[in-house]
Structure 1
Amino acid sequence: MFNEYTFFKSGPVRAGGSRYTCPFVHKGCKAHVHISKDDVIMLAVVEHNHEPTKYLRTKSGLYMKI
């Protein structure tokens, strides 16, 4: 989760690391984040075309969609 939005791992990036994409990509959302192998954010395109999905954090630290 980043800025209240969720992302899924969608593939590698050329510089090494991984690309994470908004799950609403099928609805035209272009938000994505590139994370290096060392877990450093290399690029963040975080403008979404929708509101964030609501989640509840449990006592054990898990998130549940509400």
Structure 2
Amino acid sequence: MKSWIACWVLLSTIAFGWNSSIVYYDGSGQRLVYHSDTAGNRIPDFSHVGYRSGTNSIPNLPVVYTISPT
């Protein structure tokens, strides 16, 4: 009986999914969209942050001059 209840709980969470009024997928289902609350607060999207928006690798530059502490 306990294993049946555990299976039902597990399957019910999978079947019904998860819904939120603040975070949801856009129409294509590829991106999360963060909706503002009544005070105008929202979770910022930092997915584009990084060197050249994260599309390029950081270049390796040669060492030109090495300094040491005095």
Please confirm whether the aligned pair reaches a TM-score higher than 0.5, indicating the same fold.
no
Structure 2-normalised TM-score? 0.26
Structure that is richer in strand per residue: 1
Structure that is richer in helix per residue: 2
Structure showing greater Rg:
2
